[in-house]
Amino acid sequence: MKWDALEEEPCSLARTVAVIGDRWSLLILRECFLRIRRFDDFQASLGITRHLLADRLKKLVRFGVLRKIPYQEAPKRYEYILTQKGLDLYPIIMSIVHWGNIHMVDARGRPLLHEHKSCGKMFDPVMVCSECGEPLSAKHVHVHPGPGVRRSSPLHASARERTKKNAEQA
């Protein structure tokens, strides 16, 4: 697997890592969800170099996660707005935040609390089955080859073996 060609891999995780798999892209997305939109504001908040920030913003725009909208003509300046594709990353970002809230906080506690506007309660994100609504955990999920996996892929062989083993144990 080549790092600079992950977006071509027949694996949804690898393709996603190609877009958001570095620390700066994830932190830029965090800022976007906290309503930061302008280059100078990203730079001030993150302390990232101009070159790195420009590179990561360009990548996120190229992959359709952000769109670039001019807000000033002279000099030309842009805001970076989450697209629907970008907004769909919210559960991923919240899952990472939740993991950090459980495993990485210090004695002071969580740095940010999240309130659900509809009910007014503070919440923790929960991943549930889209079919039955039950909470999901790795121990309760079986993986099967999908139509997009290459037959020669180790993912296909691995999933096929797990499926066979699970059928034998049932």
φ, ψ of residue 81 in degrees (nearest 5): -110, 135
122 vs 11, more confident:
122
pTM for the full predicted model: 0.81
**Tens-digit pLDDT profile for residues 28-37:** 999 999 999 9
CB 51 within 8 A of CB 59: no
Residue 169 pLDDT exceeds 70: no
φ, ψ of residue 69 in degrees (nearest 5): -125, 125
**Tens-digit pLDDT profile for residues 76-122:** 999 999 999 999 999 999 999 999 999 999 999 999 999 999 999 99
- Long-range pairs for 57-62 at CB < 8 Å and ≥24 separation? 57/28, 59/19, 59/25, 60/19, 60/25, 60/28, 60/29, 60/86
Strand-pairing partners, residue 81, are 67
Q: How confident is the model at residue 2 (pLDDT cuts 50, 70, 90)?
A: low
50-54, 55-59, 149-153: segment of lowest average pLDDT? 149-153
Regarding beta strands 66-72 and 77-82, do their DSSP bridges make them parallel or antiparallel, or are they unpaired?
Answer: antiparallel
Q: What integer pLDDT is reported at residue 3 of this predicted model?
A: 59
Whole-angstrom distance, CA of residue 124 vs CA of residue 95: 9
Q: What integer pLDDT is reported at residue 160 of this predicted model?
A: 58
Q: What integer pLDDT is reported at residue 162 of this predicted model?
A: 60
Residue 125 pLDDT exceeds 80: yes
| DSSP output for 78-136 | EEEEE-HHHHTTHHHHHHHHHHHHHHS-BTTB-S---B-TTT--B-----B-TTT--B-
Residues ≥6 apart with Cβ < 8 Å to 125: 91, 94, 95, 97, 98, 114
Residue 163 pLDDT exceeds 70: no
